[in-house]
Amino acid sequence: MFGRLSGLAAAAAFALLLGTPAFAQPAAQQRVPASQAEVTLTFAPVVAKTAPAVVNVYALKTAQQRVNPIFDDPFFRRFFGMPGPGGPGGPGEGPGLRAPERVQRSLGSGVIVDPSGLVLTNYHVIEGADEIRIALNDRREYEAEVLLRDQRTDLAVLRIKTEAKERFPFLELGDSDSLAVGDLVLAIGDPFGVGQTVTQGIVSALARTQVGVSDYQFFIQTDAAINPGNSGGPLVDMAGRVVGINSAIYSRSGGSHGIGFAIPANMGRVVVEQAKSGSKSVRRPWLGAKLQRVTPDIAESLGLPRPTGVLVQSVTAGSPAAKAGLRTGDLVVSVEGQGIDDPESLNYRLATRPVGGKAALLVNRSGKDQTLVVVLEVAPETVPREELLLRGRSPFAGATIVNLSPAVAEELKVDTNATGVVVYDVQDNSPAAAAGFRPGDVIVEVNNEKVARTGDLNQLAAVPQRGWRVTVLRGGRSITAVLRG
């Protein structure tokens, strides 16, 4: 349902409300408008200020078409003089059998957030692109390079390539925490490739955490029309500041139904600042605690008047949470005075604060409130990743595995206290994909042998077997299955 991208009735109801005796205005205040400005309301000044900084982002990717699926078979590749994949004579090559290349094009939007030509957009707009071009509102076009891409927030920072030190129109990133439901906003972008378009609406809701399009679920919801092509464009307030980056829509048809979602500008600011510092990845604070949403039943058991806050299920030894004194069973009510209602809200509040700083958590413990101060640190990589792509004829072939550490656990959203190795990636159409392995799976045991490091699984997978008994942790559940050899 989530895509990446009547006024007369309201006026009549408002008129009816004004006509009731309880809300009637004194006759002396009713007058004819004295000027054209009092008759005409327009967003034109805001659009004139913001539109020059909104850009089109063209992402181009070269893909080789398959000549025929039959050439996926090694026997037929050899028969037709195509000995193997990955090089001359690989799939799709051979006398008269070269697969034609085609260029895949995707269109999105972006916003210039620095006069040097830094563009903030969505990660999914430029994902997998071989070439990126930026088109300004005045029709100038430039090549762009990726400074930082962050799949977890669905954000990316680009730099416009220019020989001269050109200064570009840009917009300021506003404080998205200052938004209120009902605030007027404008969405600017290039929907369906028709050209730069401005739509107007209000902030329909805040802190939407069940959208499911990025790891950090904390979206601004708006009824300003957002359509395919708007992705990466700005959501601006009436002062012309960027308060969000349009990212997704709820749709059954692919078009706008008045429910759009934008990533808050405060999250965008974190990514932009780290791109400016030269970082190639986003460093985020790590709490080191497993959290649970408070259900009505849990709230009743805790004597709460309503479900609020998040419940601490466990705390990792030596983590910032442990050092701050957080305990299992604590109820975290707010972060730096900002109320939280689910784990996603807490994660967002911490992710928008700088590493090396501190955050005050209001905690309810046994019915009493107390404040705990957490030092914001990145998750440590206590064990080297030892990234390994498994090959051969086992059900694990095509899976990339890494050793489990707090850094890997935080990145892949797995339990830090688990033991085993983690599936980091799975190649399409591989034996591992056919077996059902997914990124984030923790492989604990194979054929009754414990798996502690990537080398352990590599050795086990190298021994031919008729069947493989595998135990995996997925989403907090232990799953045991027997796979064919």
Catalytic hit among 114, 150, 154, 330 = 154
Instruction: List the one residue out of 366, 367, 330 whose CA is nearest residue 346.
Output: 330
Please report which helix (H) or strand (E) contains residue 403, including its range: strand 399-403
Please tell me the predicted confidence (pLDDT) of residue 165: 82
- Over residues 376-418, the pLDDT tens digits come to 999 998 889 999 999 988 999 999 999 999 999 888 888 877 8
Q: With beta carbons less than 8 A apart as the criterion, state whether 244 and 263 touch.
A: yes
- Over residues 174-195, the pLDDT tens digits come to 999 899 999 999 999 888 778 8
Q: With beta carbons less than 8 A apart as the criterion, state whether 173 and 242 touch.
A: yes
Residue 78 has pLDDT above 50, yes or no: no
Residue 304 has pLDDT above 50, yes or no: yes
Better-predicted residue by pLDDT, 434 or 68:
434
- Classify domain 289-375 at the CATH class level: mainly beta
Q: With beta carbons less than 8 A apart as the criterion, state whether 405 and 387 touch.
A: no
- Over residues 136-175, the pLDDT tens digits come to 998 899 999 999 999 888 999 999 998 878 899 999 999 9
Active site residue 231: yes
Report how far residue 337's alpha carbon sits from residue 361's, in angstroms, rounded to the nearest whole number: 8
Residue 97 has pLDDT above 50, yes or no: no
Distance of CA 251 to the CA centre of its chain: 18
Q: With beta carbons less than 8 A apart as the criterion, state whether 329 and 348 touch.
A: no
Vertex 283: Cα angle to 278 and 284 (nearest 5)? 150
Kindly state the average pLDDT of the residues 459-471: 90
Name residues whose C-beta falls within 8 Å of residue 370's C-beta, 6 or more positions apart in sequence: 362, 363
- What tokens appear for 23 in the block? 């809300």
- Over residues 341-378, the pLDDT tens digits come to 888 889 889 989 989 999 999 999 988 999 999 999 99
Average pLDDT, the chain: 82
- To the question of whether residue 254 is assigned a binding role by annotation, the answer is no
Please tell me the predicted confidence (pLDDT) of residue 306: 87
- Over residues 422-456, the pLDDT tens digits come to 999 999 889 999 999 999 999 999 999 999 999 99
Report how far residue 249's alpha carbon sits from residue 235's, in angstroms, rounded to the nearest whole number: 13
Extract long-range pairs of 271-274: CB within 8 Å, 24+ residues apart. 271/120, 271/148, 271/150, 271/153, 271/155, 271/156, 271/157, 272/113, 272/114, 272/118, 272/120, 272/157, 272/173, 274/148
Catalytic hit among 176, 231, 251, 334 = 231
Fold match flag (289-375 vs 388-484): yes
- What tokens appear for 120 in the block? 């903030």
Instruction: List the one residue out of 362, 299, 289, 293 whose CA is nearest residue 328.
Output: 289
- What tokens appear for 226 in the block? 């957002």
Report how far residue 57's alpha carbon sits from residue 158's, in angstroms, rounded to the nearest whole number: 10
Domain extents for the chain? 36-59+107-282, 66-99, 289-375, 388-484
- To the question of whether residue 231 is assigned a binding role by annotation, the answer is yes
Catalytic hit among 106, 114, 124, 345 = 124
- Classify domain 388-484 at the CATH class level: mainly beta
The model carries a pTM of 0.75
Half-sphere exposure of 213 (CA within 13 A, CB side): 24
Q: Residue 303: pLDDT band by 50, 70, 90 thresholds?
A: confident
Please tell me the predicted confidence (pLDDT) of residue 103: 59
Percent of the chain, pLDDT > 90? 46
Question: Is the domain 36-59+107-282 a CATH 2.40.10.120 member?
Answer: yes
